[in-house]
Structure 1
Amino acid sequence: MADRGRIVIVEDDPGLNQAVLRLLQAAGFEAVGFDTATAALADQSARKTACLVVDVHLADMTGYEFLHRLSLAGPLPPVIIVTAHDNASSRRQAQSIGAAEYLTKPFPGRLLVDAVKRIVTESSAKS
Structure 2
Amino acid sequence: MSAAAGRTNRPSRRPTIKGQRPKAVGRGGCAVLVLDDDISMCRSLGRLISAAGFQVQTFNKPSELLASEIPASNACMVVDIDLPEMTGIEMCEILKKSGRSLPTILITGRSDAHTRSIAAKSDPIALLFKPFEEESLFAAIDRALALSTPPKV
* Interval containing the TM-score (normalised by the shorter chain): 0.7 to 0.9
Aligned: 1:100 with 2:125: yes
The match for 1:37 among 62, 87, 99 is 62
Mind listing any 5+ residue stretches in structure 2 that lack a counterpart?
Answer: 1-28
In the aligned structure 1, how far is the partner of 2:121 from the partner of 2:151?
A: 22
| Greater alpha carbon shift after TM alignment, 69-78 vs 17-26 | 69-78
Higher-helix-fraction structure: 1
Percent of counterpart pairs with the same letter?
30
Partner of 1:28: 53
Q: Deviations over 1:16-62 (max 9, x none)?
A: 10111011111110010000001111112277661111101012211
**Max Rg structure:** 2
- The number of equivalent residue pairs is 125
Aligned: 1:56 with 2:90: no
After TM superposition, the score normalised by the length of structure 2 is: 0.73
Query: Root-mean-square deviation (CA), in Å?
Result: 2.2
Partner of 2:26: none
Aligned: 1:12 with 2:37: yes
Runs of 4+ in 1 over 6 A off after TM superposition: none
